[in-house]
Amino acid sequence: MKLISTIAKVGILIFFVQSAFAAATGEPIRHVKTDEKVVALTFDDGPDKPYTEQILGVLDKHNVKATFFVLGGNAKAYPDLIKKIMKDGHDLGNHTMSHSMMKNKSVETMKNDIASVDKILRNLGYEKEITFRAPFGITSPNLKTALQQLDKRMVLFTFLPQDWTKISSQQIYNNVMKQMKPGLIITLHDGGARRENTVKATEMLIDNLQKQGYRFVTVSELLKLQK
């Protein structure tokens, strides 16, 4: 029992060291190394009606938890959806106020933008860690510095299935399955445009991956599994 307790403590220590390193360096997390058949399902650019609601319905139907990287402006416009996301047990992440390109902005401008989104989510009652995802997945030295000063981790994606383009739900599904492996961070979109195909692809992915023995976890849960 003492050995098990010691191993557990070492695992927890490694997780916090890795977390601190990611926050200290501002380096993005794109996937997690794990032998477990787990993936994190994430959605960007919302919340938005009716697609966030439809995706939440699919997730609830299959008892799957996901992570929503939200825009501050959308969170202010749809506080009911933010509260629904929280009530259903999903994670929330910060995707800037308006999805504007961060690359050429000053450190202070970036910090103010990111902090504004955090404040909106905190005021709506979100208490867990708020990770950050850069618009378009584009980072810069200034952004890394801003995140270091905010002690915030950046979670990007392993790849992009291109669901924001005019491709079918089957194509979205195929794009994900071609890259499938344990520790994957799947990035889809619940906001920004018409997302009927994303909603359909989400259900297809959940159905088939669960049959293959995969388990869906939130980003915060996935990061704890880092080897």
The closest of 82, 86, 186 to 133, measured between CA atoms, is: 186
| Residue in 95, 99, 189, 190 annotated catalytic | 189
Count of domains in the chain?
1
Q: Which helix (H) or strand (E) holds 69?
A: strand 67-70
What is the phi-psi region of residue 192: left when phi exceeds 0, alpha when psi lies from -120 to 50, beta otherwise? left
Could you confirm whether 90 is annotated as catalytic? no
pLDDT of residue 227: 64
pLDDT in tens, 36-90: 999 999 999 999 999 999 999 999 999 999 999 999 999 999 999 999 999 999 9
Tell me whether strands 67-70 and 91-94 are parallel, antiparallel or unpaired: parallel
* Domain extent for 198: 2-223
Q: Which two tokens stand for residue 39?
A: 């993936």
Higher pLDDT, 189 or 27: 189
Confidence (pTM): 0.89
* pLDDT in the model for residue 199: 98
Active-site choice (44, 45, 91, 190): 44
How high is the pLDDT of residue 103? 84
Active site residue 190: no
Residue 83 token pair: 């509260």
**Tens-digit pLDDT profile for residues 112-160:** 999 999 999 999 999 999 999 999 999 999 999 999 999 999 999 989 9
Residue 29 CA to residue 20 CA, distance in Å, equals 12
The answer on pLDDT for 19 being more than 90 is no
The length of the chain in residues reads 227
What's the CATH code of the domain at 51?
Answer: 3.20.20.370
* Segment among 9-13, 91-95, 145-149, 209-213 with least mean pLDDT: 9-13
Taking the mean position of all CA atoms in its chain, how far away is CA 17?
21
Rounded to whole angstroms, the Cα distance separating 166 from 25 reads: 36
Largest CA distance in the chain: 56
- Terminal CA-CA length for the chain: 22
Quick one: pLDDT at residue 102?
Answer: 86
